Structure 1
Amino acid sequence: MELEGKIAVVTGVSRGIGLATVKLLLEKGMRVVGWGRTAPELQHDRFIYIPCDVRSMEEVQHAYASTLQQTNGHVAVLVNNAGLGIAGKMDEMSPQDWHTMFETNVNGVFYCTRLVLPDMKEAEEGHVINISSIAGTTGIEQMSGYCGTKHAVRGISHSLYKEVRDYGIKVTCIYPGSVKTNFFDHMEGVTVSENMMRPEDIASTILHALESHPNYHHVDIEVRPLMPKGKRQK
């Protein structure tokens, strides 16, 4: 897709992967609208921030209407990045934490994607990027809730691309391993380190998928740090 001048919506833009993606898309000449609970530290004449908690269908609908009003155009790219993880054994996890993960990681993808698809179909062009996780391909002890949500994102992505491919719309699901973000702030036993991938690395992968030839479709992209434990000791 030719990106310059087109409109992208990125969710979860306060920092990390979302913010890195916004910056890279701006460099490519896109008009970018960021939806999130917290405003990023970013000022740019082609960036608009709209407060939005993707757990709320009403807030998403308001954010979408505001996006159309402020850009006077249709959304060509949607990056469903907003997400969170809460660790805990299933029999010890509170229903509130369980629902928070599913409402954010799964319902949020549905609320956002359903709104952009009609205009993408009419334009016969569009790209939805869903950020899953390695947790969406395997099981992880004490992460059953989070793994469940990211497996759901995978299934949604695989089903959706088959629904919309004939309209010229792509759906790409990305499965990152450990990324140096605030994701691990409240997880015991996990320390953020320089051996993790950078948010900029994931943003570059998103850009690569977006800029591919119209008939070349990245369905799944799994990315991991090469040396998650650092260089071997000689």
Structure 2
Amino acid sequence: MELEGKIAVVTGVSKGIGLATVQALLAKGMKVAGWGRTAPDLQHENFSFFECDVRYPESVQRAFDQTITQLGIHVSVLVNNAGLGIAGKLDEISVDDWQLMFDTNVNGVFYASRLVLPEMKEQEEGHIVNISSIAGTTGVELMSGYCGSKHAVRGISHALYKEVRDYGVKVTCIYPGSVQTNFFDNIEGVTVSSNMMRPEDIAYTILHVLESHPNYHHVDIEVRPLMPKGKRQK
């Protein structure tokens, strides 16, 4: 897809992967709508922030309506990035925390995608990128809720791409390993380090899939740090 001049929506833009993705898309000449609960520290003539909590369909609808009013009717790119993880044993994690993860990580993907798809299908062009996790391909001890939500993102992505591929619309699911973000702030035993991937690495991957030939479709992309524990000691 040629990106310059087109509209992208990115969720969860306050920092980390979301903010890095916004910056990468702006560098390509896109008009970017950032949806999130907190505005990023970013000023750019082609960036607009719309307050949005993806857990709530009415909040997503309001952000979408504001985006269309201010930027234009055809959203070409949606990056479903908003997400969070809460650690805990399945029989000890609270119902509220469980629902928070699924409302954010799963329902948010549905609420946003359903709004941009009709115009994408009409235009026969569009790309939805869903940020899952390595936890969406395997099980991780003490992360059953997060794993379950990210497995759901994988299933939604796989089903959706088969629904919309004949309209010329792409759906890509990306499964990052550890990234240098605030995701680990509330997870005991894990410290962010330079051995993790950088947010901009994921952003560059997103750019790569967006700019591919119209008939070339990345369905799943798994990315990991090459040396998660650093260089071996000689």
Pairwise same-fold verdict (TM > 0.5) = yes
What are the superposed Cα offsets for residues 82-114 of structure 1, whole Å, 9 maximum, x if unpaired?
A: 000000000110000000000000000000000
Distance 1:72 1:105 in 2: 27
Corresponding residue number in structure 2 for 1:84:
84
SS at match of 1:217: coil
Equivalence for 1:133: 133
Structure 1 position 72, deviation (Å)? 2.4
CA distance in structure 1 between the aligned counterparts of 2:72 and 2:97, rounded to whole angstroms: 38
Letter in 1 for 2:19: L
Paired residues in the alignment total 234
Q: For residue 86 of structure 1, what is the amino acid of its counterpart?
A: I
Contact 2:160 2:171 in 1 (8 A): yes
Match of 1:163 in 2: 163
Please name the residue that 2:2 is paired with: 2
What's 1:226 paired with? 226
1:1-234 mapped onto 2 (5 Å cutoff): 1-234=1-234
Moved over 4 A (4+): none
For 1:28 and 1:8, the matched residues in 2 are separated by: 11
> What is the DSSP-based 3-state SS (H/G/I as helix, E as strand, rest coil) of the residue aligned with 1:107?
helix
Where 2:129 maps in the other structure, the secondary structure is: strand
RMSD: 0.3
Q: How many angstroms apart in 2 are the aligned matches of 1:73 and 1:90?
A: 43
SS in 2 for 1:48: strand
TM-score, normalised on structure 1?
A: 1.00
Q: Give 1:73 deviation, angstroms.
A: 2.9
Please give the alpha-carbon distance, in whole angstroms, between the structure 1 residues aligned to 2:19 and 2:91. 35
Query: Secondary structure at the residue paired with 1:158?
Result: helix
Give the match's secondary structure for 2:86.
coil
**Cα distance per residue 1:134-163 (max 9 Å; x no partner):** 000000000000000000000000000000
1:189 and 1:72 map into 2 onto residues whose CA distance is 45
In structure 1, distance between residues paired with 2:207 and 2:188:
33
CA distance in 2, matches of 1:73, 1:6: 10
Q: State the one-letter code of the partner of 1:23.
A: Q
Distance in structure 2 (CA, Å) of the matches to 1:63 and 1:123? 21
Contact preservation (8 Å) 2:80, 2:128: yes
Q: Distance in 1 between matches of 2:75 and 2:231?
A: 43
Shift of 1:74: 1.0
Deviation, structure 1 residue 124: 0.3
Instruction: After TM superposition, give the deviation of residue 224 of structure 1 in Å.
Output: 0.1
User: Displacement of 1:221 after TM fit?
Assistant: 0.2
Give secondary structure in 2 for the equivalent of 1:35. Answer: strand
Q: Give the superposition deviation at 1:182.
A: 0.2
Q: Secondary structure at the match of 2:186?
A: coil
User: Which residues of structure 1 form unaligned runs of 5+?
Assistant: none
Q: Deviations over 1:178-222 (max 9, x none)?
A: 000000000100000000000000000000000000000000000
Measured in 1, the distance between the counterparts of 2:73 and 2:132 equals 28
